Amino acid sequence: MSTARANANQSLYLAKILLDGWRAALEGEAVPVLSLQRAFLPGVQAHLRQSYGWFLLEIVDLDTPPGVSPPANAAALPPVAEGTAESGELRECMQLEQSGWLSSLLTNHSSQSVHQPRSSGNLANAAAPAGDFAEAVEWSVQLEKMMSRMRDSLDEY
Question: Which pLDDT does position 57 carry in this prediction?
Answer: 94
Question: Which pLDDT does position 51 carry in this prediction?
Answer: 98
Question: Which pLDDT does position 73 carry in this prediction?
Answer: 95
Give the amino acid at 151. R
Helices of type H across the chain: 3-28, 33-59, 88-98, 101-106, 133-156
Question: Which pLDDT does position 125 carry in this prediction?
Answer: 52
pTM given for the model:
0.85
Give the amino acid at 79. P
By residue count, the chain amounts to 157
3-state secondary structure of 67: coil
Phi, psi (degrees; rounded to nearest 5) at 140: -65, -45
User: Which portions of the chain are predicted below pLDDT 50?
Assistant: 110-115, 119-123
Q: What is the DSSP string of 30-41?
A: -S-HHHHHHHHH
Dihedral of CA atoms 91, 96, 51, 33 in degrees, nearest 10, equals 180
